[in-house]
Amino acid sequence: MAKSSLRKFVYLSIIAALATITIKLTAYFLTNSVGLLSDGLESCVNLVAAIVALIMINLAEKPADEGHAYGHNKAEYFSSAIEGGLIVLAACAIIWSAVPRLVNPQPIENVGVGLLVATGASLINLFVALILVKNGKKHQSITLEADGKHLMTDVITSAGVLIGVGLVQLTGWMILDSMVAIGVALNIIWTGYTLMKRSAMGLLDTAIPGEETDRVIQAIEKYKSENIRFHSLMTRQAGQRKFISFHLLVPDAWSIKKGHDLSENIEKEIRNLFPGSPVNVFTHMEPLEDPESSRDISIDRE
């Protein structure tokens, strides 16, 4: 799937954010629950995050140009990092709103209606979050996956708030509303942290997963019986795009044409290992028996 088609999922996220903001703020005005207010504030952050995701996906889909020969795929990592930061910011806003209510608890009103309205908003977010996470993983878009996880934290927040409001109704302990809100906020801070960490790893040119690297190695080692060797295998991932490079050692007597044909076959086989993902494979041919070949095996050539 082309990146441009992923935008429809972000539009869905924007629509969901607008709908849940309206619903949750309505629930807050009906109940005067600080938990529901904090939930509404997080949905405002969701809207900002979805708009950022749309901007970054538009940037990531731009073709390579003279100044960006490897494309703009890494823009997706900026989006997920911003999403993580906004999640942490939303959690801090929740705590900021809840702490004063610990000192001065306020009664909750119209509990039944408020819970019903908030539950409806949570179901919308849950539906959209599952779609985003599923398609983010399917198309290896960290932007979609981050946006989906962001919405999922909203669902967790809402569930915690609903539990808090319900406990207040059952026990009469108004302080529980704020305590549950703070507990939920601390939990979603972890989600924000993991998203920011993953984004940082992507920007630092982290290698593709180990199981994927093993498949690449197996594809090359199939030719071991033909006296073919390889070394200096390096991989990295930028958004949806994978970059794989290695040195292919062929017998000294081979012609350039024969070595090139083998290289083309191996590169094609490696690309076929990752259907649906753009993969750039770079091979550097070297003579098997030349001692100089074994010295050129790291990113910093000796």
Task: Identify the pLDDT of residue 3.
Answer: 44
Indicate if the pLDDT at residue 257 is higher than 90: yes
Give per-residue pLDDT as tens, 125-150.
899 999 998 888 887 777 788 788 87
φ, ψ dihedrals at 247, nearest 5°: -100, 130
Bigger pLDDT: 49 or 232? Answer: 232
Helix H, strand E, coil C: the string for 182-210 is HHHHHHHHHHHHHHHHHHHHHHCCCCCCH
Tell me what the mean pLDDT of segment 147-160 comes to.
78
Domains in the chain (CATH in brackets) are 3-203 (1.20.1510.10), 210-295 (3.30.70.1350)
In the chain, which residue ranges form alpha helices assigned H by DSSP?
Answer: 7-31, 34-60, 75-103, 111-138, 142-171, 175-203, 210-221, 256-272
Task: Identify the pLDDT of residue 255.
Answer: 92
Instruction: Please give the model's pTM, rounded to 2 decimal places.
Output: 0.62
Highest mean pLDDT among 36-45, 77-86, 280-289: 280-289
Tell me what the mean pLDDT of segment 246-256 comes to.
92
Is 54 within 8 Å of 11 (Cβ atoms)? Answer: yes
- Cα–Cα distance, 243 to 218 (Å, whole number): 17
Give the up-direction half-sphere exposure of residue 165: CA atoms within 13 A in the CB hemisphere.
Answer: 30
